[in-house]
Amino acid sequence: MKVSLNTKVMNVFCGTNSKIRLNKLFDYMLECSMKQEEILKEKLKDLNGNWVIYQWDVDINDMPDKFDDLTIQTYHTYTRKFYAFRNYDVFRNGELIVRAKTKWLLVNPEKKLPMRITDELGKIYGREDGYEVLEKDVELMDGNYEKCGEYTVRKTDIDYNFHANNARYIEWIENYLDDDTIKKVEVVYKKELKLNETVEIYKLVENSNIYFKLISNGVLKTIIKITK
């Protein structure tokens, strides 16, 4: 089952180069999957769990410009034990300009533990075959990381799962990126961040790759790799 969302890139969502900010691109994709949840809400009313994204792998052929008309599609591609796999495609004038592969966990809201994903649940979402499935985690490059910033999670960062929204991590590291073309974004969320937690942001540049690690109280929370 493919679900589409049509939208226009607003000027306020763009940077000085008139391209959409990376975190807003993530917001648009996540909004498309929320639309699917709304469509399926009656069939999902007995779902005793919350979807939590674990990993992104985003290939960017061309970053959308301000005022571009976009069509965003999302679809379920596979389920395996505790993981569900979902893609996002972003089209401009019928041309595929962004494809994101993602990996999700279904988490028990009380125990905060992953739940096994049943075949029945997979059938509700509908499976689209023939697409590559995200397999490997992002590997953290060894090296001399430099601390580039620090941030305290605010109320406006928190989503319905009562932790920092996935796109906010992207927003934080964007402050330490220039306006060069980004070809790929990879993210692994190791641990969630809660309200008022302070996160330290460390950066390592290795050729065309930029690695970020986000650490709170000595615990690695998130790994982000940017390829230019």
Q: Do residue 10 and residue 107 come from a single domain?
A: yes
Nearest to 77 by CA among 34, 27, 117, 40: 117
16 lies in a domain? Answer: yes
184 lies in a domain? Answer: yes
Indicate left, alpha or beta for 166 from its phi (over 0: left) and psi (-120 to 50: alpha): alpha
The DSSP 8-state label assigned to residue 66 in this structure reads T
Q: Do residue 106 and residue 20 come from a single domain?
A: yes
Residue 160 confidence (pLDDT): 86
Structure tokens, 135 = 């397999």
Residue 161 confidence (pLDDT): 85
Q: Do residue 86 and residue 120 come from a single domain?
A: yes
Q: Do residue 28 and residue 121 come from a single domain?
A: yes
User: pLDDT-derived band of residue 65, with 50, 70 and 90 as boundaries?
Assistant: very high
User: pLDDT-derived band of residue 19, with 50, 70 and 90 as boundaries?
Assistant: very high
Residue 110 confidence (pLDDT): 85
State which residues form the domain around 155.
146-227
Residue 45 confidence (pLDDT): 83
Can you tell me the mean pLDDT for 132-157? Answer: 92
**How does pLDDT run across 183-227, given as a tens digit for each residue?**
999 999 999 999 999 999 999 999 999 999 999 999 999 999 999
**pLDDT greater than 90 at residue 1:** no
User: pLDDT-derived band of residue 140, with 50, 70 and 90 as boundaries?
Assistant: confident
CA 38/CA 143 separation, integer angstroms: 44
Q: Do residue 159 and residue 115 come from a single domain?
A: no
CA 209/CA 127 separation, integer angstroms: 33
Can you tell me the mean pLDDT for 14-22? Answer: 95
**The total number of structural domains that make up the chain:** 2
Q: Do residue 121 and residue 157 come from a single domain?
A: no
pTM summary value: 0.94
**pLDDT greater than 90 at residue 120:** no
Q: Do residue 9 and residue 110 come from a single domain?
A: yes
110 φ/ψ angles, rounded to the nearest 5 degrees: -90, -45
Nearest to 19 by CA among 58, 70, 55, 56: 70
Q: What is the dihedral of CA 50, 202, 25, 166, to 10 degrees?
A: 10
Q: Do residue 66 and residue 176 come from a single domain?
A: no
Asked if 121 and 47 touch (Cβ cutoff 8 Å), the reply is yes
**How does pLDDT run across 160-190, given as a tens digit for each residue?**
889 999 999 999 999 999 888 899 999 999 9
Q: Do residue 79 and residue 155 come from a single domain?
A: no
CA 124/CA 72 separation, integer angstroms: 20
Question: How far is it between the farthest Cα atoms of the chain?
Answer: 51
